Amino acid sequence: MQKHPLTLLLALSTVLFAWASYAQYGWPADYWQWRQQLILLSGVQLMTVMGAAMLLATRSPWLESLLGGLDKMYRLHKRLGIASGVLLATHWLIKLSPPLFIALGVEPMLRHGGHHGGFSLAGLAREIGSWSAYLMLALVLLALLRRLPYGIFRKLHTLFAPLFLLGAFHGAVLMPAAFWPTPIGALFALTILAGTLAAIWVLTGRLGRARRHAGLVQSVVTLPGGMVEVSCQMGQDWPGHRAGQFARVTFDAAEGAHPFSIACGENSQGHLRFIIKGLGDYTGRLAETLRTGMPVTVEGPYGRFLPGRPEQSQAWVAAGIGVTPFLAWLETFAQRGGMLDRVDFYYCVPAAEQAVHLAELRRQCAATGARLHLIDSAHGERLQPAMLPAVEAVWFCGPAAMGTALAEGLIHRDGRKPRFHAEAFVMR
């Protein structure tokens, strides 16, 4: 389930649909029967995938545990969203295919029939489905535009919830009655129910509400490399965090929450530190817009990027802003007096002067026994998989392309193949 959930959902819905379809109608005899069954199949697949995407949008703790962290949930949510767009386009094109097949001479004439005049629930469902399809395809394309400001992206993304409800109505009305008592009918009903409850949860503003905590900005410090360090003091209701986790942080209600790694140890007594890279218009202005004493809302903590056992041989690899969870790990081990003498820590930076809290890293590595290796690109240095020692596990946080290249390089390296852990910190 964790490795190929999208493939599993598509395979399950296809097999169950084929079983029900063959039992009810037999093998399709002509284009029109094939068309009808493929419209139904693509519709069932679409609602199954969309329902799963809506469920993931709730940020439920049990789903986070099942999938290995909110970052993995977001990555799967994005894949399900893209798959929904593809399935919707497929569903729509199959529906519009008769003129093409007639023009090609495959079918001599259109099959006439169906509802004519007056009101019908099926007619309403078809009309709603058509307009919803146009809107959803437009939203999927907009969501994939990286240039779209995050604030606009967040507001547009909320529209998927009402569109799912419209799609659920469309599918429930047009699903053949003979399919409901079958396994595919049960899967379809469960999907619609789960997705509908999730959509209502989103639309009523309950998303993440129970995990939001108020605090105050304590300090704002500009760091080299276009980064800013923001320290916050949380209230008594802050539940604490585990080193390596992140939170959704709101400094400006109009902008909404952004995910930032918590860059301090576990024993922080409600004091949280965030080191933020100015990657966009909003984060690039934080050093100027934030002031001491400003309110902050922190939702979380989230994530499962947690350190391995100290007795396990490990290589930690951080690139740029990816150093933040490792800062939290080192501080936590230093506070507990733990030893990390089996850890090699590789910190990749554009230049040594842009390294975040390098003195702190060196001090904590010395205190815990971890071996720090600074990889300075300004001096022509570049991390290669062969540079890492033969270890049991590798932990990576940094650009996704670098993580992929490192993981592939370790697979093809001779000797022990370590377990590779990485945080998929791409939240849109």
For the stretch 219-273, pLDDT in tens is 999 998 889 999 999 999 999 999 999 999 999 998 889 999 999 999 778 999 9
Q: How confident is the model at residue 4 (pLDDT cuts 50, 70, 90)?
A: confident
Mean pLDDT, rounded, of the chain: 91
- Would you say 213 and 299 are in contact if contact means Cβ atoms under 8 Å apart? yes
- Count Cα atoms within 13 angstroms, Cβ side, for 357: 24
- Count Cα atoms within 13 angstroms, Cβ side, for 202: 26
CB neighbour burial string for 338-351, b if at least 16 within 10 angstroms, e if fewer: eebebbbbbbbbee
State how far the Cα of 188 lies from the Cα of 9, in Å rounded to an integer: 11
Please name the residue ranges forming H helices in 29-159.
31-57, 61-67, 70-95, 98-103, 121-143, 150-157
Q: pLDDT higher for 219 or 425?
A: 219
Report the phi/psi class of residue 2: left, alpha or beta, with left for phi > 0 and alpha for psi in -120 to 50: alpha
Mean pLDDT of 208-226: 94
Task: Give the H/E segment covering residue 258.
Answer: strand 258-261
Mean pLDDT of 183-193: 96
List every span in the chain annotated with CATH 3.40.50.80: 314-422
∠ CA 206-46-201 to the nearest 5 degrees? Answer: 5
Q: How confident is the model at residue 2 (pLDDT cuts 50, 70, 90)?
A: low
Q: Is residue 426 pLDDT above 80, yes or no?
A: no
Residue-wise pLDDT tens digits, 41-92:
999 999 999 999 999 999 999 999 889 889 899 999 999 999 999 999 999 9
List every span in the chain annotated with CATH 1.20.120: 5-203
Q: pLDDT higher for 279 or 404?
A: 404
Contacts of 299 (CB under 8 A, 6+ apart): 208, 211, 212, 213, 247, 248, 249, 250, 257
Assigned token pair, 87: 């399935």
- Would you say 9 and 153 are in contact if contact means Cβ atoms under 8 Å apart? no
Looking at residue 355, its pLDDT comes to 93
Identify which of 143, 175, 173, 144 has the alpha carbon closest to the alpha carbon of residue 159: 143
Q: Is residue 195 pLDDT above 70, yes or no?
A: yes
Contacts of 380 (CB under 8 A, 6+ apart): none
The CATH fold of domain 209-302:
Elongation Factor Tu (Ef-tu); domain 3 (2.40.30)
Mean pLDDT of 161-183: 96
The CATH fold of domain 314-422:
Rossmann fold (3.40.50)
Looking at residue 369, its pLDDT comes to 95
Looking at residue 337, its pLDDT comes to 86
145: helix, strand or coil: coil
Q: C-alpha dihedral over 85, 91, 93, 97, to 10 degrees? A: 170
- Would you say 133 and 92 are in contact if contact means Cβ atoms under 8 Å apart? yes
Contacts of 309 (CB under 8 A, 6+ apart): none
Identify which of 212, 222, 219, 329 has the alpha carbon closest to the alpha carbon of residue 271: 219
Q: How confident is the model at residue 111 (pLDDT cuts 50, 70, 90)?
A: low
State how far the Cα of 203 lies from the Cα of 282, in Å rounded to an integer: 25
List every span in the chain annotated with CATH 2.40.30.10: 209-302
Q: How confident is the model at residue 144 (pLDDT cuts 50, 70, 90)?
A: confident
First to last CA, the chain: 22
Tell me the whole-structure pTM to 2 decimals.
0.87
Q: Spelled out in words, what is the top-level CATH class assigned to the domain 5-203?
A: mainly alpha
Residue-wise pLDDT tens digits, 318-340:
999 999 999 999 999 999 888 99
Mean pLDDT of 130-152: 88
Phi, psi of 221 (to 5 degrees): -125, 130
213: helix, strand or coil: strand
Residue-wise pLDDT tens digits, 358-387:
999 999 999 999 999 999 999 999 999 999
